[in-house]
Amino acid sequence: MRYLNHILLLLLFACNIDEGVEPLPQIPVVEAFVYTGLPVEDVKVSLPYSYTDSTIGTQYLNDLDIYIEQNENVFLLEKPKGDKYSYSNSAIEVNAGDKLKLYFEYEGKIVSATSIVPNTPSTPNISTQYIQGPKIYGTDETSYWNALDAIELTWENEDVITHSYQILNLEPDTTKLTPLVDESSSFIQEDFPTILTDGTSINIRPEDFPYFSTYQISLLTVTDEYIDFIQSQRENEMNLTPAASNIENGQGIFATFSIWSSEVEVKQTIE
């Protein structure tokens, strides 16, 4: 989410740098991700607020007619109940090699982007699906978790394709869960994958999980436009320069991912 907020901040300054100057038209910011084997449910469109506006937060555009074109089929997304457009019907079966186009009309212009779904990870494997240990209150418990081997995701990568990973807590109500680290600690989960590698493995430290729970760990192959987007954010985040974007008549990112997933259970030691 911090990447989207950065784009909104840049557009805010670009459009409102001088109160005496007529503001430029606000540009829609797209944050849209589609995964193989999963429903389409991660599409957001927003606008930056003017700095003279007393409203604080993100201004989502939730009444657009947004379409996804898959090969020769066109699907109208369902309007958000929260902030995400989705398509719950199983008719969209996203496969490697598919060409997807997302588009909608905003203020007389067609905002659009295309993405070709990358190939699936080759021979993926996870080193373990179960880890157990005590809740971390101090150095003794931290040492225990640090002594455990990392959970290793491995795959073949002869073509040097860029991969990433995501961790999803399968229990959405975290009030039912025990934090792995004492409550005074905090955990920030990115809305989308930010760690990129063109290697053949990724290590996930056991103490990086926020709760004792069951998680879905996903290995992803990513597209070139997504790589450009993430890398440009890292390079330009402190320079107030726009991130790379593949959105025509807008800003942001529309990206597709091929995904392989496995569950991992993180259990608390019963004393």
Domain layout of the chain by residue ranges: 2-119+222-257, 122-220+260-268
Q: Among 54-58, 84-88, 105-109, 220-224, whose mean pLDDT is lowest? A: 54-58
pLDDT band at 80 (very low <50, low <70, confident <90, very high): very high
* For residue 235, pLDDT beyond 80: no
Single pTM value for the model: 0.82
Between residues 267 and 53, the one the model is more confident about? 267
Cα-based distances in Å from 166 to 91, 172, 189, 260:
25, 15, 9, 10
Beta bridge partners of 259: 220
The predicted structure's pLDDT at residue 188:
54
* For residue 18, pLDDT beyond 60: no
pLDDT band at 22 (very low <50, low <70, confident <90, very high): very low
Mean pLDDT for 120-131 is 95
Distance CA 160, CA 174 (A): 37
The predicted structure's pLDDT at residue 164:
94
Mean pLDDT for 233-261 is 85
Question: For residue 96, which of 20, 141, 35 has the smallest C-alpha distance?
Answer: 35
Q: Among 82-86, 118-122, 204-208, whose mean pLDDT is lowest? A: 204-208
Give the per-residue SS3 of the chain. Answer: CHHHHHHHHHHHHHHCCCCCCCCCCCCCEEEEEEECCCCEEEEEEEECCCCCCCCCCCEECCCCCCEEEECCEEEECECCCCCCEEECCCCCCCCCCCEEEEEEEECCEEEEEEEECCCCCEEEEECCCEEEECCECCHHHHHHHHHCCCEEEEEECCCCCCEEEEEEECCCCHHHCCECECCCCCCCCCCCCCCCECCCEEEECHHHCCECCEEEEEEEECCHHHHHHHHHHHHHCCCCCCCCCCCECCEEEEEEEEEEEEEEEEEECCC
For residue 59, give both structure tokens. Answer: 């201004």
* CATH architecture under which domain 122-220+260-268 falls: Sandwich (2.60)
* For residue 240, pLDDT beyond 90: no
For residue 70, give both structure tokens. Answer: 């898959």
Cα-based distances in Å from 135 to 148, 150, 178, 184:
14, 18, 8, 13
Distance CA 96, CA 222 (A): 11
